[in-house]
Amino acid sequence: MTVDERLTHARWTEALRDGRLLGQRCSECDTVTATPEAACPACGARGLETIDLPTSGIVHTATTIEVSPTEFDAGYRVAVIDLETDGGARVTARLEGEASIGDRVELTDVLEVRETVPVFS
């Protein structure tokens, strides 16, 4: 795979705005990641195939933020969503609604504060 084909933040962001969640599958160890890397975090291989990830998943953990940084208004939830892929991909996202650990949620929106990140609910 050439460098030009490597999944970038720009391409990942563009896809997310279109409602798609792009990830990468390692050609060596099959680890799947849900945000772009230049090499596999598990084995260091650079051969990473860009793939479409499921847009639904299970809440792996979540927190409600009541003291927020500038640019954010407190009282929101951030979660790690398990996308239930074979390679174990998870993604950090905004979580709308009341879902708890173990509940199924869907990619329903994006949040755009400086960058674009997924919103599940």
Partner 1 sequence: MEGASVVGVGMTDFGVHDQPLPELFADAAFEAMDDAGADADVIDAFYLGNAMGGQTESDTHLAPTLASHIGLAGIPCSRFEDACATSSNAFKHAVEAVRAGTHDVVLVGGVERCTPSTGLETPEMTAIFASASHRQYEQPTGLTFPGVFGLLTTRHMHEHGTTEEHLAEIAVKNHANGTLNSRAQFGKETTVEAVLDSPVVASPFRLLDCCPFSDGASAVVVANAAGASTLTGDPVTVAGVGHATDVIPLAEKADLTATQSARDAASQAYEQAGIGPADVDVVELHDCFTGAEVLAIEALGLVEDGEGGPASARGETALDGRIPVNPSGGLKAKGHPIGATGAAQIVELVEHLRGEAGERQVEDASTGLAHNLGGDAGTTIVSILEVAR
Binding site for Zn ion (CB under 5 A): 26, 28-29, 31, 40, 42-43, 45
Are the beta carbons of 26 and 34 closer than 8 angstroms? no
- For 30, the 3-state DSSP assignment is coil
Place of tokens 């960058």: 115
Asked if 3 interacts with partner 1 (CB under 8 A), we say: yes
Q: Which amino acid is at 98?
A: E
**Per the structure block, which two tokens stand in for 111?**
């949040």
Which of 29, 26, 21, 27 is CA-nearest to residue 37?
26
Selected binder of partner 1 within 37, 96, 103, 109 (CB under 8 A): 37
Report the residue number, 15 or 42, with the smaller CB distance to Zn ion: 42
Q: Which of residues 82-111 bind partner 1 (CB under 8 A)?
A: 88, 90-94, 101-102, 111
Selected binder of partner 1 within 21, 22, 33, 99 (CB under 8 A): 33
Report the residue number, 43 or 113, with the smaller CB distance to Zn ion: 43
**Other Cβ atoms closer than 10 A to 75:** 10
> Which stretches of the chain bind partner 1, using CB under 8 A?
3, 8-10, 33-46, 60-72, 76, 78-80, 88, 90-94, 101-102, 111-117
